[in-house]
Amino acid sequence: MEGEMTSRSGHLSPAAGPLEDDNLLREILLRLPPQPSSLPRASAVCKRWRCLASDPRFCRRFRRHHRQNPPLLGFFNRDSDLFPFVPTLEPPNRVSPGRFSLQRREGDRFISLGCRHGLVLIHNAWPNKVLVWDPITGEQHHLAIPPELVIHAENTAINGAVLRAAGDIQQFHVVLTVVDNVDKQKQHKRALAWLYSSETNLWGDLVSTPVPFKVSTSDILGDEDDVTLVFMGKPAVMVRDSLYWILAGNFVGILEFDLEKQSLAVIRVPAHMLENGFY
């Protein structure tokens, strides 16, 4: 009989509906909007839906499916010593600032280096480590900076960027960069960079490139006109497979790190851009 099926006991029972198929239900839940309230609301339907929507494998798949169009939950105020989270969505999708709070230990000195792909990169200046933090899961990775970078970190601010590894949301890369202002022979200034991979849990070899000296002068550093820095006022910009930072001070330009080639390059800024205010 159409619409009915025979059970093992021989009694007729209604045919199973589409939502009784776990695989089909997963496909439906997967296509819910990527808003913070979507999966919690689905979980409230019944115990079975809750088990499916809270399964870690499904959650990872949900994140991968919506990776290209994630909602902007909010932002972290880089200019505040407390590094607060500022939500941008309205209820019921508004995330409480306390949900993304970062606990500090006594003596911690946090300097935000930027956010990308759902990860936050922080330089903890006191123990000279960097922290990769996933505010959604609360997962933290504390990385000791490369030994060659320690001497520079003690004398000047270091900059950097974090990003997810291509095709794998579980792995990530960190790039740290600084300009060598220790060398007394000013004409031998170099930009330095290191690439960390969470897959190997290792920093790669030092990558460097020369930085011109006294090509142009910025008034941003006052009397310290012999110093060039990787500008901390703005985070790195990522275009295709390269990261870009502003160089400021004695030389004003752009520093490029090619992730695929693992190489550094200095890009000169046209004179008219300097005259009109490059920053």
CA angle 119, 81, 113 (to 5 degrees): 35
pLDDT tens digits along 147-165: 888 887 777 778 999 999 8
First-to-last alpha carbon distance for the chain, in angstroms, is 75
pLDDT higher at 198 or 5: 198
**pLDDT band with cut points at 50, 70 and 90 for residue 196:** very high
* pLDDT computed for residue 76 by the predictor: 81
**pLDDT band with cut points at 50, 70 and 90 for residue 99:** confident
Q: Which of 37-41, 66-70, 112-116 has the highest mean pLDDT?
A: 37-41
- Pairing state of beta strands 207-210 and 4-6? unpaired
* pLDDT computed for residue 106 by the predictor: 76
In this predicted structure, the answer to whether residue 3 has a pLDDT above a threshold of 70 is: no
* pLDDT computed for residue 227 by the predictor: 83
User: What span, in angstroms and rounded, lies between the C-alpha atoms of 255 and 137?
Assistant: 32
Spell 47-77 as b/e; 16+ CB within 10 A means b: eebeebbeeeebeeebeeebeeeeeebbebe
Q: Which of 7-11, 174-178, 265-269 has the highest mean pLDDT?
A: 174-178
Q: Output the DSSP codes for 130-155.
A: EEEE-TTT--EEEEEPPHHHHHHHTT
**pLDDT band with cut points at 50, 70 and 90 for residue 193:** very high
pLDDT higher at 217 or 139: 139
Percent of the chain at pLDDT above 70?
82
Angle between helices 47-54 and 22-30 (to 10 degrees): 60
**pLDDT band with cut points at 50, 70 and 90 for residue 225:** low
Give the torsion through C-alpha atoms of 250, 242, 149, 106, to 10 deg: 100
233-260: average pLDDT: 92
pLDDT tens digits along 4-23: 444 444 443 444 566 788 89
In this predicted structure, the answer to whether residue 220 has a pLDDT above a threshold of 50 is: no
Listed range (166-170, 172-176, 212-216) with the worst mean pLDDT:
212-216
pLDDT tens digits along 49-65: 999 999 999 998 998 89
Read off φ and ψ for residue 208, nearest 5 degrees. Answer: -140, 160
